[in-house]
Amino acid sequence: MIRPKLSLRRPLAILGAALVGLTGVAAVATPASAHHTEISATVGCDRLTGERVITWKVENSETNKDATLQTVTTTPGTPVNVLTKTAKAVPLQGYVIDQGSSVKAEQRVPANTTTANLKVYAEWLVDGVKTADNTRDKTITIGADRSCAPAPTCVDVNKAKFSHTFDGPKGTATVKLDGDLPLCGDGKQYFTLVSYFAPRPQFATPQYVYGTPDSDFVSAKQTEITLNVEIPDCHTQVDLIWGDKDQVIDEIVDGGKRYDNMKLGSPGAPGNRSKGPQGWYNGGSKSCVTPASTFASKCDGSVAVSLSNDGKISKYAVEFEVKGENGFTKKVSVAPGKADSSIVVPAADAGKIEVLVDGKVIENGTYSWQRPEDCPLPAVTTKADCKEFALTVTNPEGGLPVKTTFTYGDKTETRTVAAGASETVTFKAGKDKTAIVALPDMDLELEAIYTPEGNCGGSGGGGGDDDEPGLPVTGAAAGGIAAGAVALLIAGAVLFVIARRRRVTFTA
């Protein structure tokens, strides 16, 4: 058998054809694998919501084909929407990117997000037939130190800061909310201005609220307030406090409740949440009392002293001291709104009286005894005949002793007539037709005309000894011409005229 000689030409030819075919396939497939998308991103922050805002940018690599984003996957899995000029959201998934173009889409993620990933599967179609596809993904890192807190639109009432002004002596204050943001919701913060009666111009107790405290609040619609209170015209304390009128302490007493850091401008909370001067004041130039005195002279020379403490600012007891002459002194305490009439200065000490408080004489607190107008005057009676001229002064009971001077002719005698007693002076009848009875303590002077009844021989004396006493003589007290009291004697026909500081003579 003759075997033909093997040839390598045919196998080589087949192999060559196969290589050519593979090369063609590679040439066709290579453009298809070049289709892809490019993904990039930027990160921002929405401070109104506190969210991270990622702006994804997806680019189409092909300049002659549109890319359809068939599948879009995100981590975190929040929506990704294409940025459009309309308000309607357009999902990135399904979006067609024009040839040679790109699209931007926004994704919002929580503020604490540290990484984010976008995965896109895209297809390129020609006449509705897919010619290529591609999957790309991009992971970005968001720095942990880049906080994204939401920008506040209001301030919580419990965190709000304030500033204030304060004028204690005038009783005024203002409080306003700091910053540009209002208080949140219906939040209100009250502040109150209150004034007190105080026992001293420095802090001391007890203290009592004066008038009506003024209270108001700061809110979203009212960011500044003005407060005013009336200040007593005496020692006072004024406080600007945190809170409404329910926080006011009506009586500040020893060992009792205090405002402490409730006062605005205090070093601790809540008072230190307001910037400004110290919101408290102590001062005033006089005590919160109304000491007053009145005096009533009595016919016996004594003086009754009435003391009171019942004025508008009377809030504390007054310690009165009443001083008279010869070392007389008495002290009495009068409670607010009360009076005392227990002190009577004796006649011997009533020449000058002073009422003192805290060592100082009070207004209208000096007085000297003055004879009351309703005190009965001493009565003067006479008995006259041709031989004698008798004058008698009778001093009523309940009065002072009365010094009396009797003058007839060149004779003068002085007597002191005790209360409830009488004194008589008898002169020898002479040629003088008048006698003078002077009461110097009362500033009174009486003139009697001596006209004895009957004929005394023309010498002014003699004849008749049956004269009867005349009527008592009375008159007004010091202060003007006294009214004359005339006593027509049955015997002697003696007329007395009473005058003040001058002698007035009447004849019958």
Tens digit of each residue's pLDDT (9 = 90 or more) over 369-393: 998 988 898 989 888 888 899 999 9
| Neighbour tally for 179: CB within 10 Å | 11
Q: What is the pTM of this model?
A: 0.58
Half-sphere exposure (Cβ direction) of 486: Cα atoms closer than 13 Å: 9
Confidence of residue 458 (pLDDT cuts 50, 70, 90): low
Helix or strand holding residue 306 (H, E): strand 303-309
- Rounded CA-CA distance 8/4 in Å is 13
Query: Does the pLDDT value for residue 406 go beyond 90?
Result: yes
- HSE-up of residue 329 (Cα within 13 Å, Cβ side): 7
Helix (H), strand (E) at residue 18: helix 9-33
Three-state SS at 277 = coil
Q: What percent of the chain has pLDDT over 90?
A: 65
CA distance 134 to 114: 27
21 exposure class (CB count in 10 Å sphere: 0-12, 13-18, 19+)? exposed
Q: What's the mean pLDDT when you consider all of the chain? A: 84
Question: Which pLDDT belongs to residue 506?
Answer: 33
Q: Taking residues 321-342, what's their average pLDDT? A: 96
Closest CA to 54 of 137, 141, 135: 141
Q: pLDDT by residue (tens digit) across 393-403?
A: 999 998 889 99
CB 353 within 8 A of CB 323: yes
Local confidence band at 490 (pLDDT 50, 70, 90 cut-offs): very low
Q: What is the pLDDT of residue 128?
A: 84
Cis bond upstream, residue 440 (ω within 30): no
What's the one-letter identity of residue 398?
A: G
| Model confidence pLDDT, tens digit, residues 186-242 | 999 999 999 999 999 999 999 999 999 999 999 999 999 999 999 999 999 999 999
